[in-house]
């Protein structure tokens, strides 16, 4: 196997290499071979009972590179890790780490070590120096950070595009394992300080507590969209060593060719140009989960100012469309004012929209990268992310809560529903996945997080009133600033703002993916001209549901808003017409997420 060497320059672990070690290596080789051959049956059988993940049974068996590495100390008693890595765009699945554990006889793969596992360590601020060479597409980075906390090893992840060049822990150089040649199981890991790398996984061991760590790394970045040249550079995806995508503040100094500019997140601290390079330093004092930069020969296609802020549209020099640029900056100006008035201060001095030849689109909180074709609608969505994703960070590991809320504030509130979001949101529930789980289901229903999420948020504002909803969102932004957040954190803000009124709403529409069906069981005429409509729902325990009952007759239609709290419940539905009504129906579209059932005909009754 090309991934293993039979001999190694590294120190051998004790004298008892032999049987157990050999079989560990053989087991690892067999797992890699099973993966490479897409032998899902064999692979699934290598897992501990009940611990085989979905991908081992066939799904997701394409496009990953399997490797093995010594397990990082401090994460259970695994002998080694089976690692699946691949280049990923931002907000991606994350690579998979499966511990290889000893059994009575031989070895087995165990359930995934979650990316969000507590390493004991935290890092608050990274300081980067990055050099981009567009002709080779090579990126050289030096990352310096201070480590807080205590743990056995610092587990990080870094795009497999990059290899480690040098790692310093405190004032000591770390031995590098797996950086110039594949890791060999069965060899002892050198004494600390040491940096062990395989695929996208990196772990450090040494005097880490309160230490300053410097990691130099380099690699060619040449994917569609995500690339370091030749015409421009867009780096968005795991180009920094991160601990489970936790939010960090950062400063970056970018070195690019002299005819380029470089845009980072946050504020421009300094810039300079010589005959050989353009240099810019940017600093983002907001802790976020995704660090993004754009560099290229961009020119300003349009610019406007509002509330002491600058709005710019940057385009490629050979594709400048001034009218499009003007629309972009006007939209941005209006959106920032709209959101700021409702959600709290926009945290930057500017907002830029940068055209990309082939990058689809990504929010970067103080700017956004967008393919020109979507700049007619996307800039204001990306601006919404400055609050949901930026001010309140989202890792995209557990749910896409911030896409639901951003789609709501942009499409439903700012664009007043004109983009069709509510229409598609009403019917978006293909798998019955709860909104709180859509990321962990790994891309099965991500589109639903946007559309259904926005629809559910709209249901919520009808339920509590728009003013209350805005106050909840604003409180959420204030209380979760810089803190990794998810639906329960929004729920906490709602509880505080409304006095614990809406847990039922989260239980039904965020933490569950089940949607009820309604049915009219009977309709009878009441004493005072109203109609008594008996409605049933199929869920047990029943959902609390708001909807409308429509009574239609030859001379008019009357709707009555009702709230159902029982499995079977009678409602008085008003009817203004004089002639006997012909049909009674339930209206749920735009109000709730229940299927309305068939209309009830009164003909002949």
Binding residues for Zn ion (CB under 5 A): 403
Q: How far apart are CA 202 and CA 241, in angstroms?
A: 8
- Cα first-last separation, the chain: 79
CB of 373: closest distance to Zn ion in angstroms? 16
Q: Smallest gap, in angstroms, from Cβ of residue 410 to Zn ion?
A: 8
Q: How far apart are CA 470 and CA 476, in angstroms?
A: 10
Is the Cβ of residue 348 or residue 388 nearer to Zn ion in the bound state?
A: 388
**Spatial separation of the C-alpha atoms in residues 185 and 297, rounded to whole Å:** 47
- Count of beta carbons in the 10 Å neighbourhood of residue 504: 12
> How many other CB atoms are found less than 10 A from the CB of residue 574?
14
Nearest to 197 by CA among 154, 226, 227: 154
| Contact (Cβ atoms closer than 8 angstroms) between residue 96 and residue 114 | no
Q: From the CB of 450, what's the least distance to Zn ion, in Å?
A: 7
Peptide bond into 230 cis (omega under 30): yes
How many C-beta atoms surround the C-beta of residue 176 within 10 A?
A: 18
Q: Which is nearer to Zn ion, 403 or 486 (CB)?
A: 403
Cα–Cα dist 383/390, whole Å? 10
To Zn ion, the closest distance from the beta carbon of 264 in angstroms equals 20
- Residue nearer to Zn ion on the CB measure, 403 or 548: 403
Residue 114: partners with Cβ closer than 8 Å, 6 or more residues away = none
Closest CA to 283 of 311, 321, 252: 252
At its nearest, how many Å lie between Zn ion and the CB of residue 381? 6
**Cβ distance to Zn ion smaller for residue 403 or 448:** 403
In a 3-state reduction of DSSP, which class is residue 76? coil
Q: How far is the CB of 380 from Zn ion (least distance, A)?
A: 11
Smaller CB distance to Zn ion: residue 27 or 487?
Answer: 487
Q: Closer to Zn ion by CB, 3 or 415: give it.
A: 415
For 174, phi then psi, to 5°, come to: -90, 145
Smallest distance, Å, CB 389 to Zn ion?
Answer: 7
Measured from the CB atom, the residue of 4 and 360 that comes closer to Zn ion is 360
Provide, rounded to whole angstroms, the least separation between the CB of residue 405 and Zn ion. Answer: 10
CB of 385 to Zn ion, least distance (A): 6
Instruction: Give the nearest distance from C-beta 362 to Zn ion in angstroms.
Output: 8
Are residues 107 and 68 in contact, defined by beta-carbon separation less than 8 angstroms? no
- Shorter beta-carbon distance to Zn ion: residue 403 or 433: 403
Evaluate the omega torsion of the peptide bond into residue 193 and state whether it is cis, within 30 degrees of 0: yes
CB of 53 to Zn ion, least distance (A): 27
Closer Cβ to Zn ion, 447 or 542, answer by number: 447
Least distance CB 4 / Zn ion (angstroms): 42
Cβ contacts of 59 within 8 Å, gap of 6 or more: none
Burial bucket for residue 565 (CB in 10 Å: 0-12, 13-18, 19+): exposed
3-state per-residue secondary structure call for 425-465: HHCCCCCCCCHHHCCCCCCCCHHHHHHHHHHHHHHHHHHHC
Q: Tell me whether residue 355 or residue 403 sits nearer to Zn ion (CB atom).
A: 403
Q: How far is the CB of 375 from Zn ion (least distance, A)?
A: 14
Whether 27 contacts 45, CB under 8 Å: no
Q: Which is nearer to Zn ion, 297 or 447 (CB)?
A: 447
Q: Is the dihedral of CA 402, 403, 406, 412 positive or negative?
A: negative
| CA gap 538, 505 in Å, rounded | 18
Q: Residue count of the chain, please give it.
A: 605
CB-wise, 32 or 335, nearer to Zn ion? 335
- Closer CB to Zn ion, 406 or 429, in the complex: 406
Residues 6+ apart with CB under 8 A from 310: 303, 304, 349, 350, 351
């Amino acid at each position: 196997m090309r991934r293993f060497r039979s001999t190694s320059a590294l120190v051998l672990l004790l004298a008892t290499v032999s049987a157990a070690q050999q079989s560990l290596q053989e087991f690892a080789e067999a797992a890699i071979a099973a993966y490479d051959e897409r032998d899902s049956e064999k692979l699934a059988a290598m897992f501990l009972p009940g611990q085989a993940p979905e991908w081992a049974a066939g799904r997701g068996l394409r496009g990953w590179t399997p490797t093995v590495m010594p397990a990082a100390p401090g994460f259970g008693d695994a002998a080694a890790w089976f690692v699946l890595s691949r280049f990923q765009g931002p907000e991606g699945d994350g690579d998979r780490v499966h511990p290889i554990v000893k059994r009575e006889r031989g070895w087995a793969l165990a359930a995934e070590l979650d990316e969000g596992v507590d390493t004991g360590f935290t890092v608050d601020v990274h300081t980067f120096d990055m050099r981009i060479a567009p002709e080779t597409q090579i990126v050289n980075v030096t990352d310096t950070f201070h480590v807080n906390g205590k743990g056995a090893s610092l587990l990080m992840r870094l795009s497999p595009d990059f290899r480690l060049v040098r790692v310093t822990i405190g004032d000591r150089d770390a031995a590098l394992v797996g950086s110039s040649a594949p890791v060999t199981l069965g060899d002892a890991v050198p004494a600390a300080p040491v940096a062990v790398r395989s695929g996208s996984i990196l772990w450090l061991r040494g005097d880490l507590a309160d230490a300053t760590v410097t990691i130099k790394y380099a690699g060619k970045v040449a994917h569609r969209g995500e690339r370091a040249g030749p015409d421009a550079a867009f780096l968005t995806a795991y180009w920094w060593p991160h601990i489970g995508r936790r939010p960090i503040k950062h400063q970056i100094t970018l070195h690019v060719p002299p005819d380029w500019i470089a845009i980072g997140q946050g504020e421009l601290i300094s810039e300079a140009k010589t005959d050989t390079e353009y240099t810019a330093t940017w600093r983002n004092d907001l802790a976020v989960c995704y660090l993004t930069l754009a560099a290229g020969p961009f020119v300003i296609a349009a610019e406007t100012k509002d509330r002491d802020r600058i709005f710019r549209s940057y385009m490629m020099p050979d594709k400048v469309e001034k009218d499009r640029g003007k629309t972009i900056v006007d939209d941005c100006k209006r959106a920032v004012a709209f959101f700021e008035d409702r959600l709290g201060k926009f945290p930057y001095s500017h907002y830029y929209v940068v055209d990309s030849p082939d990058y689809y689109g990504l929010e970067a909180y103080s700017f956004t990268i967008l393919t020109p074709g979507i700049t007619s609608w996307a800039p204001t969505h990306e601006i919404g992310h400055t609050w949901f994703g930026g001010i309140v960070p989202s890792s995209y590991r557990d749910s896409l809560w911030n896409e639901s809320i951003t789609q709501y504030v942009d499409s439903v509130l700012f664009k007043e529903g004109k983009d069709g979001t509510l229409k598609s949101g009403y019917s978006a529930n293909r798998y019955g996945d709860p909104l709180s789980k859509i990321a962990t289901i790994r891309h099965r229903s991500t589109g639903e997080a946007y559309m259904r999420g926005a629809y559910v948020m709209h249901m919520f504002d009808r339920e509590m009133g728009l003013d209350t909803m805005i106050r909840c969102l604003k409180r959420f932004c204030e209380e979760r600033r810089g803190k990794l957040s998810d639906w329960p954190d929004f729920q906490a803000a709602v509880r505080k703002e409304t006095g614990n009124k809406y847990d039922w709403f989260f239980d039904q529409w965020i933490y569950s993916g089940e949607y009820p069906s309604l049915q009219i069981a009977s309709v009878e005429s009441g004493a005072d001209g109203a109609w008594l409509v008996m409605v049933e729902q199929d869920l047990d325990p029943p959902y609390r549901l708001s909807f409308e009952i429509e009574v239609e007759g030859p001379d008019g239609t009357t709707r009555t808003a009702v709230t159902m709290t029982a499995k079977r419940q009678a409602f008085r539905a008003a009817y203004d017409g004089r002639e006997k009504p012909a049909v009674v129906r339930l209206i749920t579209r735009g109000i709730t997420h229940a299927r309305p059932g068939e209309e009830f005909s009164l003909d002949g009754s």
